[in-house]
A = this chain, B = another copy of it.
Amino acid sequence: MLIVMDKNATAAQIDQVVRTIEVRGFTARPIPGGDRVSIGILNNAGPVDPALFAGLPGVKDAIPVTRPYKLVSREIQPADTLIRVGKVTIGQGHLTIMGGPCAIEGEAPAMAIAEQVKAAGGQIFRGGAFKPRTSPYTFQGLGLEGLKIMAKIRERFDMPVVTEVMDGETFDQVEEYADIVQIGTRNMQNFSLLKRAGQSRRPVMLKRGMSATLEEWLMAAEYILAGGNSNVILCERGVRTFVRHSRNTLDLSVVPVILKESHLPIIVDPSHAAGVRDQVLPLSRAAVAAGAHGLMVEVHHQPDQALSDGAQSLYPEQFITLCGHARRMHAMLQE
C-alpha cells in the first residue's frame, strides 16, 4: 500500500498516517518526493484496507501495491494445478470439453443428449438439477431427481458430470452425485457457500460473477483454497457491459491474465456469454485460441423445445463441428 499525501499536507497529517500504520503493527516508510510525500506500508502480513487511509486529513490517495490473494497466486505456487476427474485431466496442456443441456428435463432427453455429447468427443457432461432462475415462475430444475439422472449418465457413458449447487442445505446431495460441483455466477460472492466448498471433497468449478473483477474472482477462489480444497477450476462466462448484441461480453483477455497470475485451470463458457447460438462456435474457437484449458457448452438434441436457454444451445451437429475445430486449434497451439 502506498499512501499519497496532498501537496500541502502538514507534518501533523503525515504523522497521523504513520501512526495509523504503526498502530496495526506494520512499518511506515515515508518517501519524500519532488512536490509531495508518499508513505509506503511494509511488513503487512495480509492485504491492507485502503479505506483505512482514504478518509484521513491530508491523504490524496491510497494505492494497493501488492495483490491480496495468496494461495491461488502463481507467486506462491509456480506449478500449474492439474485436476483429475475420472480419466479426465483439466489444466495446462489439456483441452477439456464439457457439454450438455442447461437443465436436466427428464431421463430420456438427458440420455439422448449425453449420447451425442460423448459421440462428438465431449469428455464431461454438464446439466442443471438445481437452477438459479431470474423469475420465480419459470422451471426451477428437477432437484434430486436430476442429480440421480446425472449419476446414471456417468455410469452409462463413463463420463464425469458437473452440476451447480445453490446453497449449503443441498451441498451434501450435490456432492454425493456430482464429480465436479459448480458455483454459479450469481453465487460467486456467496461467502457461506464458498466456505462450504472449501470443505468439499469434490473439485469446484467457480464461475466468474457478472461484474467481478479479476481480483474479486481470485479472492473467491482463495476462500475455497483457504478452506482446504485446492481443486478449483475457474470459468469465464462473460461479464455485464453496455453491449446488447450478445447477452454478456466474453472477456477473453482474462484468460492470459489468469494464466499469468494463477496456477488454477481456466475454462470458458461461451454459451452464457453469447445468449444466442450463432455466436457460440466462433467464441468457442476464440477461447481456445486465447489459451483456455477447456470449454463448457450447452448442447440440446431439440433446442427449440428446451425448457430453458434453448436459444443458446447448440444442435448436436454444431457441437460436433465445435469439438473438431477446438481440438485442431488446441493441437496447433501445443506444437
| A220 nearest in chain B by CB position | B134
CB pair A40–B49 under 8 Å, yes or no, is no
* Chain B residues, CB < 8 A from A20: 304
> Which residues in chain A, 201-234, are within 8 Å of chain B measured between CB atoms?
209-211, 213-216, 219, 222-223, 226-227
Provide the bound-state CA to CA distance between A75 and B8, in Å: 8
* Chain B residues, CB < 8 A from A254: 243, 245-246
A181 CB → nearest B CB, Å? 15
CB pair B55–A276 under 8 Å, yes or no, is yes
Provide the bound-state CA to CA distance between A52 and B307, in Å: 8
How many copies of the polypeptide does the oligomer hold?
Answer: 4
* Chain B residues, CB < 8 A from A243: 213-214, 239, 251, 253-254
> Which residues in chain A, 187-210, are within 8 Å of chain B measured between CB atoms?
187, 189-193, 195, 209-210
CB pair A51–B310 under 8 Å, yes or no, is yes
A154 CB → nearest B CB, Å? 25
Q: Which of A187, A213, A289 has the most CB of B within 10 A?
A: A289
CB pair B304–A282 under 8 Å, yes or no, is no
* Chain B residues, CB < 8 A from A33: 40, 42, 65
Contact of A250 among B8, B253, B310 (CB under 8 A): B253
CB pair A132–B286 under 8 Å, yes or no, is no
Contact with B along A249-261 (1 / 0, CB 8 A): 1111111110010
A320 at the interface (CB under 8 A from B): no
* Chain B residues, CB < 8 A from A167: 167-168, 190, 192-193
* Chain B residues, CB < 8 A from A191: 132-133, 136, 166, 186
